[in-house]
Amino acid sequence: MKIYLAGKIRQESEREALEEIDSLCKSLGFKTFLPHRDVGLVKNIKDVKRIFEGDIVKGFKDVSLVIALLDGLHVGAGTAFEIGYAYANKIPIIGLKTDESPEEALEYLSAIIISSTKILSSFDELKKELKKFKERGKV
């Protein structure tokens, strides 16, 4: 069972937050796809095709769930695309927004993301949800 981890990755702190989610998933027995670990970062325009192929074409292969880190003022463009791609491919999506509620973040998250994503507010909630998915064989 493979989980795709989506989120902003420009800043080291953003990557570290995704790595915390990665550790949680692995501790529960899930395989993960973590874009910056498994494909790398964009350094210049020449990397664009490699990143798209690695993150989307190969990264989404056999994915059962997407977890999107939604913290911060705005959702990253790549994260929004990954959420939309998952939704279009009928892959369940869990959003993790620990810094404010969806109601408070409506302007920044958008009705589209809120409607298509089950949004949780803590790592404890995420852990419980992942355990439920595992028990139901949903991931």
**φ/ψ of residue 11, rounded to 5:** -90, 145
> Which pLDDT belongs to residue 97?
96
Convert the pLDDT of each residue in 17-28 to its tens digit. Answer: 999 999 999 999
Question: Can you tell me which residue has the tokens 């790549």?
Answer: 78
For residue 94, what are the β-bridge partners?
67, 118
Chain centre to alpha carbon of residue 75: 11
User: Which of the four pLDDT bands, split at 50, 70 and 90, describes residue 138?
Assistant: low
Question: How far, in Å, CA of 79 to CA of 45, rounded?
Answer: 19
Domain boundaries defined on the chain: 2-136
Statement: residue 108 has pLDDT above 90: no
Read off the pLDDT of each residue in 80-101 and give the average, rounded to a whole number: 96
User: What CATH number is given for 2-136 in this structure?
Assistant: 3.40.50.450
